Amino acid sequence: MIYFSKSSNGFFLDSINDNMPADIVEINADLYNALMAGQQNDGKVIESDDDGGNDSNL
């Protein structure tokens, strides 16, 4: 599973991260891939919303 943490503004995978921040929220692979593509291809910035989720203004 893929998670996003507002406090670290980072992504975590439960398969490789044993210690994760307390504020993680689960995201699906499609959203993760869209966020990464927006950052790489369009120069978008990934930011968390008020609920701790993330948005790159896609």
Per-residue pLDDT tens digits for 38-52:
999 999 998 887 765
Q: What SS3 state is found at 39?
A: helix
Which residues are within 8 A (CB) of 48 and not within 5 positions of it... i.e. 6 or more apart? 4, 6, 9, 54, 55
Res 55: pLDDT: 58
Per-residue pLDDT tens digits for 10-27:
999 999 999 999 999 999
* Confidence category of residue 57, pLDDT binned at 50, 70, 90: very low
User: CB of 39 within 8 A of CB of 46?
Assistant: yes
pTM of the model: 0.77
